[in-house]
């Protein structure tokens, strides 16, 4: 069997593993196996690609795989769940950087027009993904301000950058021997990645992460065309398409268009201060226990605050104790809860919460009127009734989990500080809401001790 045939068979096997792995990632019950299938597919693709190179020195390649694998393993083990969105942003950025370098390395004196176009695309999309992901990382980690960064004439600057990119790309394809045009495209692509993400507020980061994930796939696909590698084309297409689909799901969950998310930072958004009537009614963990002890139906709504408090394991303990007490317990998962798509699912899966207890927003909302107690753990914007009640609110019209419809609502927060979107939450002042202040992990641990 020839090396060429073995290589192509390897690409077919790798593509099949990618597809099966992606399918498995669609369900929390099979996501771990899907990740393993996809990783195995990538290993097969790498080995097949190396076989296709003929006689090469594998010393540095093997060394790079070992060092990279070790770094990845240590990082995956060490990263806190609160930092998972930042890691995903960095992964997207590194994928973009890799595509930029692969496209650049494919440039040769005898490159045809089609090859030059694919090289420009891989460099352009890869550069935008790299710097855009770094800005997203900075916003998520709060190393830079999480709010939208805008300035006068921003649209004009962005338009000039885009015109410069297009002009530089055309001139490079016409004069590939002049490297200055390529350097111009690379520089402007890196600049545009920054300019595209800075006007997007932190509350929209789940959309940005999924979109940048799509960009990294599209960049890989273009790089695959540039070096004529079928496995890279398939893998990039899958990532690009799935990222776009996920982006649309995120936008639908916020009842906003993608263009509104990307460009609303340029607009003058009405953000009048919401006038909230009522008073805060605190409750202690001891008193909350008596209410929960009598409950027969409890809904738990997790948010980013649960990740910060690392409370997912003690929440699982409370769930088990409530069930032993004859109570039905479900979790309401909003698509944009946390700071990346599926953030709450990852947290609860780590604590081995049964998958059939995780209900999406459309499933939990019709049941909310029959819920005795809704426990909101660190969520804010995704349970904010202003989205339904206050037309002047920036999130008006966004679908939220209707916890205010439950008979009693416990909100676990450290303080009265607003959520990531910086919006006042009328839920805290509702007649049926009780505020349980303090560290969420400690508060729930107190409830666990009371039940025990």
In-domain check, residue 271:
no
Contact at 8 Å (CB) between 336 and 205?
no
169 pLDDT more than 90: yes
Is 125 found in the same domain as 112? yes
267 pLDDT more than 50: no
- Torsion sign over Cα 177, 181, 183, 185: negative
In-domain check, residue 134:
yes
Separation CA 400–CA 421 (nearest Å): 14
For 326-359, the pLDDT digits (tens) are: 999 999 999 888 878 888 888 888 888 988 899 9
Domains in the chain: how many in total? 3
CB-based contacts of 62, cutoff 8 Å, min separation 6:
none
In-domain check, residue 275:
no
Rounded (5°) CA angle 206-210-216:
145
Is 129 found in the same domain as 65? no
Domain that residue 245 falls in: 82-266
Is 299 found in the same domain as 246? no
In-domain check, residue 272:
no
Is 57 found in the same domain as 145? no
* Residue of 60 and 21 predicted with greater confidence: 21
Give backbone dihedrals phi and psi of 143, rounded to 5 degrees, phi first.
-75, -25
The reported pLDDT for the residue numbered 233 is: 94
Contact at 8 Å (CB) between 401 and 127?
no
249 pLDDT more than 60: yes
In this structure, how many other beta carbons lie within 10 angstroms of the beta carbon of residue 24? Answer: 18
Strand, coil or helix: 360: strand
150-154, 257-261, 382-386: least confidently modelled range: 257-261
55 pLDDT more than 80: no
Question: What is the DSSP code (8-state) at residue 200?
Answer: S
Is 358 found in the same domain as 216? no
In-domain check, residue 276:
no
The reported pLDDT for the residue numbered 56 is: 67
Strand, coil or helix: 375: strand
| CA dihedral of 283, 286, 287, 291, whole degrees rounded to 10 | 120
Q: How far are the Cα atoms of 24, 25, 81, 352, 353 from residue 32, in angstroms, in the given order?
A: 8, 7, 16, 13, 15
* Residue of 287 and 3 predicted with greater confidence: 287
Quickly list DSSP for 170-186: HHHHH-TT-HHHHHHHH
Q: How far are the Cα atoms of 14, 75, 102, 127, 146 from residue 92, in angstroms, in the given order?
A: 21, 15, 15, 11, 19
Residue 432 C-beta-side C-alpha neighbours within 13 Å: 15
Is 301 found in the same domain as 404? yes
In-domain check, residue 332:
yes
Report which of 442, 437, 434 is spatially closest to residue 314, judged by C-alpha positions: 442
Please, which residues bridge with residue 301 across strands? Answer: 376
Is 436 found in the same domain as 291? yes
For 274-321, the pLDDT digits (tens) are: 556 678 899 999 999 999 999 999 999 999 889 888 899 999 999 999
Domain boundary residue among 15, 47, 78?
78
Take residue 151 and report the two structure tokens written for it: 């300035």
In-domain check, residue 277:
no
Is 298 found in the same domain as 235? no
CB-based contacts of 163, cutoff 8 Å, min separation 6:
none
The reported pLDDT for the residue numbered 111 is: 87
Is 248 found in the same domain as 139? yes
The CATH number of residue 321's host domain is 3.40.50.1220
420 pLDDT more than 60: no
3-state secondary structure 126-144: HHHHHHHHHHHHHHHCCCC
Is 99 found in the same domain as 64? no
Domain boundary residue among 201, 234, 266?
266
75 pLDDT more than 70: yes
In-domain check, residue 441:
yes
Domain boundary residue among 78, 108, 135?
78
268 pLDDT more than 60: no
Is 211 found in the same domain as 92? yes
Is 313 found in the same domain as 290? yes
312-324 and 343-350 helices cross at what angle (nearest 10)? Answer: 70
CB-based contacts of 192, cutoff 8 Å, min separation 6:
127, 128, 131, 158, 161, 162, 165
Residue 192 banded pLDDT, cuts 50, 70, 90: very high
Active-site positions read 381
């Amino acid at each position: 069997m020839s090396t060429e045939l073995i290589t192509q068979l390897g690409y077919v096997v790798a593509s099949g593993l990618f597809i099966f792995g992606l399918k498995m990632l669609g369900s929390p019950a099979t996501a771990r196996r899907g990740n393993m299938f996809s990783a195995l597919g990538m290993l097969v693709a790498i080995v097949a690609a190396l076989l296709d190179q003929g006689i090469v020195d594998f010393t540095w390649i093997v060394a790079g795989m070992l060092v990279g694998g070790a770094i990845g393993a240590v990082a995956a083990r060490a990263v806190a769940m609160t930092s998972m969105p930042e890691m995903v942003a960095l992964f997207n950025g590194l994928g973009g950087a890799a595509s930029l370098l692969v496209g650049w390395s494919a440039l040769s004196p005898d490159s045809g027009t089609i090859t030059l176009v694919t090289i420009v695309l891989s460099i352009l999309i890869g550069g935008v993904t790299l710097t855009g992901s770094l800005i997203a990382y900075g916003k998520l980690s709060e190393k830079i301000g999480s709010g939208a960064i805008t300035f006068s004439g921003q649209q004009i600057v962005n338009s000039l950058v885009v015109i410069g990119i297009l002009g530089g790309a055309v001139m490079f394809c016409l004069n590939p021997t002049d490297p200055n045009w390529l350097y111009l495209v690379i520089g402007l692509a890196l600049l545009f990645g920054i300019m595209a993400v800075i006007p997007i507020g932190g509350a929209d980061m789940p959309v940005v992460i999924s979109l940048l994930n799509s960009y990294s796939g599209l960049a890989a696909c273009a790089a695959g065309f540039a070096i004529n590698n079928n496995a890279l084309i398939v893998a990039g297409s899958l990532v690009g398409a799935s990222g776009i689909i996920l982006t649309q799901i995120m936008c639908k969950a916020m009842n906003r268009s993608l263009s509104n998310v990307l460009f609303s930072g340029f607009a003058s958004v009405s953000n009048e201060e919401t006038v909230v009537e009522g008073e805060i009614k605190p409750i202690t963990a001891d008193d909350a226990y008596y209410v929960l002890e009598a409950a027969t139906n409890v809904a738990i709504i997790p948010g980013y605050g649960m990740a910060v408090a690392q409370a997912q394991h003690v929440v699982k303990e409370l769930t088990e104790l409530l069930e032993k007490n004859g109570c039905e317990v479900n979790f309401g998962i909003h698509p944009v809860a946390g700071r990346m798509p599926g953030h709450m699912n990852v947290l609860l899966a780590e604590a081995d919460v049964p998958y059939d207890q995780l209900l999406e927003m459309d499933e939990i909302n019709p049941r909310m009127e029959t819920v005795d107690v809704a426990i909101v753990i660190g969520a804010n914007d995704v349970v904010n009734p202003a989205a339904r009640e206050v037309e002047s609110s920036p999130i008006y019209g966004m679908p939220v989990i209707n916890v205010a419809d439950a008979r009693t609502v416990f909100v676990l927060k450290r303080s009265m500080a607003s959520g990531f979107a910086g919006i006042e939450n009328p839920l805290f002042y509702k007649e049926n809401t009780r505020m349980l202040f303090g560290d969420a992990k400690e508060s729930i641990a107190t409830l666990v001790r009371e039940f025990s």
